[in-house]
Structure 1
Amino acid sequence: MTKLPFAADAPVSVAAVGIKARDVNALADYYKDAVGLAEVSRRPGVIVLGAGGLPLLEIEEFRAARPDDPRAAGLYHTAFLLPSRLHLAKWTRQAIDRRIEVTGASDHFVSEAIYLTDPEGNGIEIYADRPRDAWSYEGGGLKIGTVRLDVDNLLGELRPGDSAWVGAPEGSMVGHVHLRVGNAGEAERWWNDELGFDTIMSLGGSAVFLSTGGYHHHVGANSWQSAGAKDRDPDRSGLSFVEFRSKTAAKESVHEDPWGNVVRIVPA
């Protein structure tokens, strides 16, 4: 890649997400088929998936795990950022043709996104950013919202002769991760104070969006379903860790947010 996407060209950006699965092979097959990830490597009990050879998702087998609880702390969704709107249009066209089940489709002004849920209940976002010079600001802050995605307009990116979707292309990445927490205000303070992330937007105390370098968000944290949640149960499937790449970190470090969601920081 000659130019990093804005999400990656920041002091700290998302590198990969780890999830614990009750059926590692079935879950890996879903991400290959529905998201378009490719197998990068495997070791006993672990399958690593990615795009262009870059690891993005580590799935670890945990057969004895109880199913993830959506009311508890954990993973709300992993957001896979495609390199362009055209790539999102190609993914959408084949998803419609193949009747891949989706749970939502939204225009967030700074990005366009389509949502899925994997077979073990982990949320997925597939999205493309609008160019940064097209982002709007009001009241001193970045304008982010949620309206219905204009799918017909998105599909208008496609032209006769365009190549078909053949999987997540080189340059795809985890653009952001969205976590379930017990209290969004407490999460905001933790990400501000512990890891130095900036608050981009807060939604009435129920959700907060944070980033480094001015990106719309590398991290979301909400209590929409999980208000008052206590420590994450390690015996459940779902989130294992989120790994961030830091341009300033001198060594690897491991942190836990107030609910036990594991955050790894590795040097860029």
Structure 2
Amino acid sequence: MESTDAAMPASAHVGRVGLTVNDLDAAVRFYADVVGLRVQSREDDQATLGADGDPLVVLRADPDAPERGRGEAGLFHTAFRLPTRGALGDALDRVQERWQLSGASDHLVSEALYLSDPAGNGVEIYWDRPREEWPVTDDGRVGMDTLPLDLDDLRAAAAGGDAAPDGTDVGHVHLEVTDLAAAREFYVDRLGFDVRQRFGESALFVAAGEYHHHVGLNTWNGRSEPASAGTRGLDWFELVVPDDEAFEEVRSRLDSGGASLESTDDGLAVSDPDDIGLRLRR
């Protein structure tokens, strides 16, 4: 496993994801009825949905927000992790009854469903196989692949639930970036993630501890421009670092690397090399 002296504690994880949408009602219906989250708060121009009391998605309405440019970096997908295979079977039922499935894969470490929300944002819904079943490569990285998923077998495992159960969270966020080397310097050398898997010069998967990935980074669609503010799509995503000493070490590394840091009510905000917003909190 490739790592640096800058270590992110294994307890770190993805928190909330902030999305800008044109139609708030449509977005709320999708994340509630299809993904299975619960509406936790709703205002005229913003809604928060989550599971198990934890907020996971913050939707901000901007009817005039333009679509992200075809060449701009940004969100590939937000990945909602379910605690059981039965819950994923339930999610498959909801998607097939109420939406449209765009893909389904067996990644060896997980089984995943893929779709898009009403604004065109990529969404993954998945569950992890037990860690002792995850393949390990000769160099200590996690072995992942993209294989066909047996939907009939998954459907047979459905538990009969109509909502995402307690324990659901955002397992990872996958980003489209313009420069994989620059992204690696930020997410590995500055934030302190470990490289868990790399696919040539086109994709990198990084994580805290020994998770398969908390952040995916790819250049598959040839994005060549940084993210623009005010467009539809990803506004920011959050990384929770529940360790005061580790949090301050991350802050110090970002500061020494020349990052522009902004204090927030519960942490700090920074942008990655592609101007994708990241919030850090304890």
Output the CA distance in 2 between the equivalents of 1:184 and 1:241.
19
- Distance between the aligned counterparts of 2:31 and 2:201, measured in 1? 33
Tell whether the 8 Å contact from 2:34 to 2:94 is kept in structure 1 after alignment: no
Preserved CA contact (<8 Å) 2:34 2:98: no
Q: What's the counterpart of residue 108 of structure 1?
A: 107
**Per-residue deviation, 1:252:** 1.1
3-state SS of paired residue (1:36): coil
What residue number does 1:169 align with? 165
Match of 1:223 among 215, 219, 224: 219
Alignment partner, residue 181 of structure 1? 177
- Is 1:192 paired with 2:188? yes
Aligned equivalents of 2:211 and 2:70: distance in 1? 27
CA shift, 1:185, in A, is: 2.3
Deviations 1:16-62 (A, max 9, x none): 10001111121111111111111011234110011122100000011
Measure, in 1, the Cα distance between the counterparts of 2:222 and 2:57: 24
**2: CA distance, partners of 1:218 / 1:54:** 18
Distance 1:133 1:201 in 2: 17
Q: Report how far residue 99 of structure 1 moved.
A: 5.4
Q: Distance in 2 between matches of 1:232 and 1:91?
A: 31
Match of 2:15 in 1: 15
Find the aligned partners of 2:86 and 2:114 in 1 and give their Cα distance. Answer: 17
Provide the rounded CA distance (Å) in 2 between the counterparts of 1:76 and 1:119: 15
Counting aligned pairs with the same residue, the percent is 38
1:199-218 matches, within 5 Å, as: 199-218=195-214
Task: Find the counterpart in structure 2 of residue 5 from structure 1.
Answer: none
TM-score (norm 2): 0.85
Alignment of 1:262 onto 2:258:
no
Once the two structures are superposed, the pairs formed by residues 145-156 of structure 1 within 5 Å of their partners are 145-156=145-156
Correspondence for 2:260: none
2:279 alignment partner AA: R
Q: Does 1:49 align with 2:19?
A: no
Query: Could you tell me which amino acid in structure 1 is paired with residue 277 of structure 2?
Result: V
* Cα deviation code 1:69-123 (max 9, x no counterpart): 3531111100000011111112213433x15201100000000000001111100
Counterpart AA for 1:261:
I
Instruction: Map 1:217-256; keep pairs closer than 5 Å.
Output: 217-227=213-223, 229-248=224-243, 249=247, 252-256=267-271
Range moving further from structure 2, 62-71 or 258-267: 62-71
Q: Secondary structure, in 3 states, of the residue corresponding to 2:234?
A: strand
Q: CA deviation at 1:187?
A: 0.8
In the alignment, residue 202 of structure 2 is paired with which amino acid?
S
The CA RMSD over aligned residues, in Å, is: 1.6
Q: TM-score, normalised by structure 1?
A: 0.89
Assess, with a 3 A threshold, how the Cα gap between structure 1 residues 70 and 37 changes in structure 2: closer, same or farther.
Answer: farther
Please, which moves more after superposition, 50-59 or 103-112?
A: 50-59
Cα deviation for residue 218 of structure 1 reads 0.2
Structure 1: where are the runs of 5+ without partners? 1-8
Does residue 1:123 correspond to 2:122, yes or no? yes
> Residue 6 of structure 1 corresponds to which residue in structure 2?
none
Q: Matches of 1:26 and 1:156 in 2, distance apart?
A: 30
Task: Indicate conservation of the 8 Å contact 1:73/1:226, yes or no.
Answer: no
